Structure 1
Amino acid sequence: MKVGICTFNIMMYEGSSLKEKRMIVKSVIERIKSRYNVSIAEIADQDKWRLATIGFCCISNNKRHVEKTIQEVLRFLEKDGRGELINIDMEVI
């Protein structure tokens, strides 16, 4: 069994309040959950309105599948355009 773990920060320039940040983060998380088979959550920086730290993981019996899923999620986030990905940390165990 292989487990892929990825954490990243996303800098958002559109929102001007914590309420708008929460709406964006919730939307991004729900879209990823529905499109990819991963567990995902905002894990830090809940009180900062331009920065979110999000983590997700996936499990498979194939290391390539785990790596591919992580890359697809990150590509999806880059194409989404609601924020800039920074400080990406990936690990496959």
Structure 2
Amino acid sequence: MVIGVCKVVLAIDEAFSLKEKRHIVKSLVERVKSKFNASVAEVDLNDKWQRAVIGISCVSNESGHADSMMASIVNFIENDGRAVLFDYSTEIIHID
């Protein structure tokens, strides 16, 4: 079993309140869940209205597939346009 994990840091310069930020983040999280069938959640900076950290994970039987899926998700988020992808890191975990 292979687990792909990704941490994405977003800058949301268009948000001027927590309500606006949460609207953008919730929409982005739901779109990623729907399109990629991955587990996604906001995991840090919940009280900062122009920054967000999103955690993403997927399970696969091949490391190449998990890596490709994480790359596709990062690309999708980067091209969304409502938030700027500030930083990200991925990790592939092998479990026997």
TM range (shorter): over 0.9
Aligned length: 93
Matches within 5 A, 1:33-72: 33-72=33-72
* 1:5-44 equivalent positions in 2, closer than 5 A: 5-44=5-44
Give the Cα separation in 1 of the matches to 2:86 and 2:22. Answer: 18
4+ runs of 1 displaced by more than 6 Å?
none
Cα deviation for residue 78 of structure 1 reads 0.8
Q: Deviations over 1:28-70 (max 9, x none)?
A: 0000000002100000100000000100100000111101100
Q: What is the identity, as a one-letter code, of the residue corresponding to 2:51?
A: L
User: How large is the RMSD of aligned CA atoms in angstroms?
Assistant: 0.7
What is the alpha-carbon distance in structure 1 between the residues aligned to residue 28 and residue 87 of structure 2?
18
Stretches of structure 1 lacking an aligned partner (at least 5 in a row): none
TM superposition score normalised by structure 1: 0.97
Classify the secondary structure of the residue corresponding to 1:80.
coil
> Once the 2 structures are TM-superposed, how far is the Cα of residue 15 of structure 1 from its aligned partner?
1.1
Q: TM-score, normalised by structure 2?
A: 0.94
**Whole-Å separation in 1 of the counterparts to 2:86 and 2:80:** 14
Deviation at 1:84, TM superposition (A): 1.2
Give 1:87 deviation, angstroms. 2.4
